[in-house]
Chains A and B, each alone.
Chain A
């Protein structure tokens, strides 16, 4: 059966070129980069080249890059690492109500350890208000963490401005950029961040590898205790194939970004218009323009997102209701509640995210079937009365 994958924000396929680049590092170049011999040196070189590639892409220095196991680890590392390093200076952290669980949960963990966390709200588009951030700052504030773009509704935050506020107040600034790296330009100096998380499987790299950018001079507690890898900040034998794959993936993204963005924005806007034209009582979630090129998120009244999802799956279309990490929980998305949707409407949300291998006819297929599914489900819904 034909499959149309519209869930690139959950994860992306690994680019075949990335797979090719990784392959030698399983058998031919298997060495432990911490070993002194030739095999070790060969692996070490691959890692340092990769680090340079990623650093260049981010506008950072190679020594400011720490490889991790992915976005969740990077976020945990950044938030807990800074909190524990600065606990004598202050105990207050500012973040937002729409962060991914990988930021919100470590923040809540710290709350139980005596830290205070302010979760700043957002407007109906999911945008953080700079004034709210400013007002939340106290003399105990040690960290501000705001995601670059939201994984559910795609809204892109004014990171540069928040960065300036953080700098003026001499507070560390972290951004979870898992949804943006590889998709839109990310430069740590332009954004003004001290820490930034990214994950390779969101940009056509392998799963299980990510990185944390840590600006030179940032005080941070080490995360994994063990050997001296990553300048003693993160122990564990390097994941050489993963690191090589991450770098290759970012290289490809860099070379294709302009074209991909253009094409995805085109398709994205076609989906948005198509859904608005063909289905009544739908609401676009997220900001109309300050949004990721590949993100569409709609609330479709009177029906549950889950039912739409399963029906689409059986028609060969892979979509999502929001975050894949919470797909078995019943609670309506905290992001949709934060932008002011009622729980009932939040339940009827559908996220479609585009990527490298989407073609025009995939969108035709979606726009042909989605209205039929919605119509059918609404006919069965006790909440819906035909107008």
Chain B
């Protein structure tokens, strides 16, 4: 019987390397593809996951496994769909999550189409998440709850989910590291990369300066009583809950509580002022749409947020969410993702925090 073909998105990191090795062992015809974005490398810094080093590492893993390996340049679509939005969102006083858009538009759209055009049945990645086929496809948290990456994947549609494999969903990170050693993969010892791949040295502020410097204007920092406390360097350089870099000394620590684009002002306050309960999300997307419009679910408001229970009220183009307990730094631009235990129900982009 002819083997079925699967494309593995190989970044050169441990996870996608092991994903490829597992599929190869399961007797798929595996093709490795590494995306290349030709991004400016800030000199001397350690290479980011999608940099040249990543391509070389992916290639050496592919050679070791004896699989085909191609490098595809997806720079244009990355700029159009991810980087432009990334900059624009910051200008609007929001804090975007580019990884979510990358999954939505690059990995599981542009790259998925390439994979299908190569006659592959699936595109596999090294994400920690699981897909379960019921009547529809469901997205589920990974077995390793500490590593779970389902948050980044909530915008996937049925047409995408049916062509995706997450071979690592049932493994813990420790097991994956062990597998990398057992498979004797050249990337077994590599450190995890947590940063956003197109930001050299995780410096998003420096990146914005090189791209949208002229649109960035300094403005005032005020407290909720309206007292002027100082000057900010431009809205894009701040995020809700930020404490560092405000340059103001008060008797107690100050946090960014609100960013107001219209007046180019940044509000600061005490830590307790950053805790909020209610907010709206826009552009909602459901993988498993609830039947009722009012529902209680677990909600995560950023990747490293401890899921908290909330009541949702679903409207046509927005959702109102009310946490049972106030949460720190509900941040416009970030995504709120809804969970029913292990299942990803859906999510949306945080639009407005209600007082």
Contacts and interface: CB of A to CB of B under 8 A. Distances in A.
Contact of B73 (A310, A314, A329, A380): A329
Contacts of B73: 328-330
A211 B279 CA distance: 71
B117 A377 contact: yes
Interface in A327-377: 328-330, 376-377
A311 B119 contact: yes
Nearest to B120: A314
B169 to A, nearest CB: 28
Given A329-B38, A330-B38, A380 B113 contact: yes
B228 interface: no
Interface in B22-37: 31, 36
A380 B116 contact: yes
A307 interface: yes
Given A307-B114, A328-B36, A330-B38, A314 B72 contact: no
Q: Identify the interface centre among A306, A310, A311, A329: most chain B CB within 10 Å of its CB.
A: A310
A311 B71 contact: no
Interface in A191-240: none
B117 A311 contact: yes
A334 to B, nearest CB: 16
Interface in B71-99: 71-73, 75-76
Contacts of B68: 313-314
Dominant secondary structure at the A interface: helix
B76 A330 contact: yes
- The size bracket of the interface on B is 10 to 19
B78 to A, nearest CB: 11
Nearest to A308: B117
A328 B71 contact: yes
Given A328-B71, A329-B38, A311 B116 contact: no
B212 interface: no
Nearest to B113: A380
Given A328-B36, A330-B38, A380 B117 contact: yes
Interface in B129-147: none
Given A311-B119, A380-B116, A306 B38 contact: no
Contacts of B118: 307, 310-311, 314
Nearest to B118: A310
A148 to B, nearest CB: 30
A306 B118 CA distance: 11
B303 interface: no
B70 interface: yes
Contacts of B114: 307, 310
Contacts of A313: 68
Nearest to B52: A328
A188 B170 CA distance: 68
B226 to A, nearest CB: 51
Contacts of A328: 36, 71, 73
A369 to B, nearest CB: 12
A314 B36 CA distance: 21
Contacts of A310: 70, 114, 118
Interface string A293-309: 00000000000001100
Nearest to B72: A306
A295 to B, nearest CB: 24
Contacts of B71: 328
Nearest to B34: A328
Contacts of A329: 38, 73
Nearest to A376: B117
Contact of A314 (B38, B113, B119): B119
Contacts of A377: 117
Nearest to A311: B118
A328 B114 CA distance: 16
Contacts of A376: 117
22 contacts: A307-B114, A307-B117, A307-B118, A310-B70, A310-B114, A310-B118, A311-B117, A311-B118, A311-B119, A314-B31, A314-B68, A314-B118, A314-B119, A328-B36, A328-B73, A329-B73, A330-B38, A330-B75, A330-B76, A377-B117, A380-B113, A380-B117
Closest 4 CB pairs of A and B: A330-B73, A307-B117, A328-B71, A330-B75
Interface of B: 31, 36, 38, 68, 70-73, 75-76, 113-114, 116-119
